[in-house]
């Protein structure tokens, strides 16, 4: 009787669950590839967003356009502006000065243009310098085109012995309130009057004097105190919502006594109507 040949032992195969798992992963990959293929990507918007991210995180310059090899920043000459809605145009006009006497910061709703007191006033003075007047004249066309109310905020710093000037005596002599508050108030009032005289609507300007009580930098150094002495032009777009609602409904629901009704509430908007 012939001998049977022995078969070599079979090598163990892959576990059954791995086959199922591989099928599942393949199906999921196919599904996501299908989703991506159905999506539409706007290449122009993608490049614009990419350029914004590059500038925001400090990789290259914020004005760099990844679609070109040139810097897309432009300078705007002073003069009447069209379609200006915020202070961003001021940043474009004065970007070469941002490291010295000017500082611009912004968020989704808030924009702040800070002007150093060194360019606006002489030490201890509350009268605008010719250089300060020229600066305000440059940004005036932009301010006139803004529909939002603007806040003028005056700031000062702690006065140290080495910084005292004889002109400061007018603020410290027999002063009951903090002299830095007085100084910041008179300075912001000077800017307010100058802008109103140049055609700004006084109803769109608000003033606040903060004295030395809202510092941005340390008061323990000379440089910090110099930077804290400033005037802020603040644009808060959230203030415009109520401004527009009031303007619209004042005309539609005004009553003979100078008030208007809105959603069942009665508002008195004419102070003379109460007399």
pLDDT tens, residue by residue, 25-53: 999 999 888 887 776 655 555 555 555 54
Confidence band, pLDDT 50/70/90 cuts, at residue 102? confident
Instruction: Give a yes or no: residue 145 inside a domain.
Output: yes
Residue 107's pLDDT is what?
78
What is the length of the chain? 275
Domain contains 228: yes
Question: Would 11 be classed as within a structural domain?
Answer: no
58 and 115 assigned to the same domain: no
| Higher pLDDT, residue 56 or 231 | 231
Residue 238 has pLDDT above 60, yes or no: yes
Q: Are 28 and 35 in contact (CB under 8 A)?
A: no
Classify residue 53: in a domain, yes or no. Answer: yes
- Establish if 165 belongs to a structural domain: yes
* Interior angle at CA 45, CA 43 and CA 50, nearest 5: 95
58/119 same-domain check = no
Residue 52: inside a domain:
yes
Residues 182 and 111 in one domain: yes
Q: Which long-range contacts (CB under 8 A, 24 or more apart) does 113-119 make?
A: 113/87, 113/139, 113/232, 113/233, 113/234, 114/230, 114/231, 114/232, 114/233, 115/230, 115/231, 115/232, 115/233, 116/226, 116/227, 116/229, 116/230, 117/156, 117/187, 117/229, 117/230, 117/231, 118/226, 118/229
Same domain assignment for residues 122 and 96: yes
Write out the residue range of the structural domain in which residue 113 sits: 88-237
Contacts of 262 (CB under 8 A, 6+ apart): 245, 249, 253
Confidence of residue 114 (pLDDT cuts 50, 70, 90): confident
192: its two tokens: 């307010």
The closest of 50, 145, 45 to 89, measured between CA atoms, is 145
Provide the mean pLDDT of the chain: 69
Residues 148 and 250 in one domain: no
- In which band, very low, low, confident or very high, does the pLDDT at 65 lie, cut at 50, 70 and 90? very low
Between 79 and 36, the higher pLDDT residue: 36
**In terms of domains, do 43 and 122 share one?**
no
78 within some domain? no
Total of domains in the chain:
3
């Amino acid at each position: 009787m012939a001998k049977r040949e022995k078969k070599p032992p079979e090598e163990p195969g892959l576990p059954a669950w791995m086959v199922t798992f591989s099928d599942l992963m393949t199906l999921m990959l196919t599904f996501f590839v299908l989703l991506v293929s159905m999506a539409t990507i706007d290449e122009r918007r993608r490049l614009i967003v990419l350029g914004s991210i590059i500038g925001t995180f400090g990789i290259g310059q914020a004005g760099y356009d990844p679609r070109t090899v040139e810097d897309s920043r432009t300078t705007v000459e002073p003069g009447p502006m069209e379609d200006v809605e915020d202070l961003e145009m001021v940043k474009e006009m004065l970007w070469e000065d941002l490291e010295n006497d000017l500082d611009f910061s912004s968020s989704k709703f808030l924009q702040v243009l800070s002007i150093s007191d060194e360019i606006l006033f002489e030490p201890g003075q509350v009268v605008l310098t010719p250089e300060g007047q020229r600066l305000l004249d440059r940004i005036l066309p932009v301010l006139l085109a803004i529909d939002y109310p603007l806040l003028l905020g005056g700031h000062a710093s702690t006065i140290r012995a080495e910084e005292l000037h004889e002109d400061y005596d007018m603020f410290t002599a027999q002063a009951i309130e903090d002299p830095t508050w007085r100084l910041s108030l008179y300075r912001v009032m000077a800017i307010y009057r100058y802008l109103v005289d140049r055609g700004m609507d006084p109803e769109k300007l608000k003033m606040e004097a903060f004295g030395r009580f809202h510092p941005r930098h340390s008061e323990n150094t000379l440089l910090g105190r110099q930077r804290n002495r400033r005037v802020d032009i603040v644009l808060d777009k959230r203030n415009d919502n109520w401004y527009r609602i009031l303007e619209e409904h004042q005309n539609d629901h005004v009553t003979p006594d100078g008030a208007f009704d809105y959603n069942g509430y009665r508002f008195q908007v004419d102070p003379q109507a109460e007399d």
